[in-house]
Amino acid sequence: MMGRWSQPALAAVTFGTIALVPAAAKADNGGIGFWLPGTMGSLSAVPGQPGMSYTFQYIHLDAVAGGGRALQNNANIVAGLHAKADVGVFLPTYTFATPVLGGQLTIGAATVPGNIGVDINATLTGPRGNTISGSAFDNRVTWGDVYYIGTLKWNFGVNNFMTYVFGNIPTGTYDSTRLANLSPGFVSVDTGGGYTYLNPKTGQEFSVVAGFSFNGTNTALDYRNGIDFHADFAASQFIGKTVHAGLVGYVYQQVTGDSGTGARLGDNKGTAIGIGPQIGFFFPAWQGYTGYLNLRGYVDIYTENRPTNSTFMATLSFTPAAPEQPATPRGPRHLK
């Protein structure tokens, strides 16, 4: 049903849907985590072809918290928050031909330029306990940290498995005195695993990737986010050979509390559940490469100790195409 696109190697074009870096677009203290919910999408665990791949991604994030909800932004306790971020991601990756632990190893690193604006209409308390009233706004075009990822993937027929590690190298422009930051201001490592069911006969696909974020201390604030758990889901149906559509979603839960003298709101454990639509397109690229475009969006349907987020992701990736299968020789001389 899915034709030549059904091969797991080609389906792994969606390594590009691992939109690693935009987590920084909403990274901050006060329970908003290092991991951007929805980072992993459809076909995430399917192995790919050896060689270089290139992913470009655009992310738009809109976060809103009403005036009755107190949140911490750097050293400030704020209310009435409205933040917008428009972020670009460039992620080159390399997939090795030699198996590692029987699986396929891929490594990559990403850079993240973007624009972020934060509007506060009521600041309750500032640094050193000073009381601030009125509104505040901060907007800037800046760079996030450098991010790295490594994955191992295994294929067993319709079942695909993966494990991953993802983290940041603090090279961005974090400023503890500003409201708008693309860099989180601390070192984090996120690790976990995933599964993809991909059935070429029925065109059905389901993926889930779950993991934990382990966060370092923001030394400028003496603030450390707790350990975060997240699970990203995606389900889709192929329509013909090159198009698939379906739903995406996520669950996010902070499992340990924030800590440090800068944690003015205590544990501040955050929760979020989101859901939305997706559509993906495979298409021929230049010689030896296959293109893939994925569009998906999320809306939070439940949050606690976090802003309510709306997120749109557009991912364009190019990966090595699977070699064409040679035609089967026919004729009496080939029969036995």
pLDDT truncated to tens, each residue of the chain (336 aa)? 444 444 443 444 444 343 343 333 333 454 457 898 999 999 999 999 999 999 999 999 998 876 555 565 555 565 667 889 999 999 999 999 999 999 999 999 998 999 999 887 765 554 445 444 567 788 999 988 999 999 999 999 999 999 999 999 988 888 888 888 888 889 999 999 999 999 999 999 999 999 999 999 988 888 888 899 999 999 999 998 899 999 999 999 999 988 888 776 667 788 999 999 999 999 999 888 999 999 999 999 999 888 889 999 999 999 998 876 555 454 443 333
Q: Alpha helix (H) ranges present in the chain?
A: 8-11
Residue tagged 């993937």 (tokens) = 153
**In the chain, how many H helices and how many E strands?**
1, 17
pTM: 0.83
> Does residue 234 fall inside a structural domain?
yes
Rounded CA-CA distance 233/249 in Å is: 5
Rounded CA-CA distance 52/95 in Å is: 7
> Does residue 332 fall inside a structural domain?
no
CATH of residue 145's domain is 2.40.128.130
> Does residue 68 fall inside a structural domain?
yes
> Does residue 321 fall inside a structural domain?
yes
Residue 9 vs residues 57, 74, 304, 315: alpha-carbon distances, Å: 21, 44, 39, 18
How many domains are contained in the chain?
A: 1
Domain containing 231: what range?
Answer: 3-325
Per-position b or e across 75-112, b if 16+ CB within 10 A of its CB: bbbbbbbbbbbbbbbebebebeeeeeeebbbbebbbbb
214: its two tokens: 């382990």
> Does residue 167 fall inside a structural domain?
yes
Radius of gyration of the chain measured on its C-alpha atoms: 21
123: its two tokens: 């600041």
> Does residue 335 fall inside a structural domain?
no
Backbone CA torsion sign across 164, 169, 171, 177: positive
> Does residue 51 fall inside a structural domain?
yes
Inter-residue contact 148 to 108 (CB < 8 Å): yes
Inter-residue contact 65 to 83 (CB < 8 Å): no
Q: Is 309 exposed, middle or buried (0-12, 13-18, 19+ CB in 10 A)?
A: buried
> Does residue 331 fall inside a structural domain?
no
4: its two tokens: 């030549």
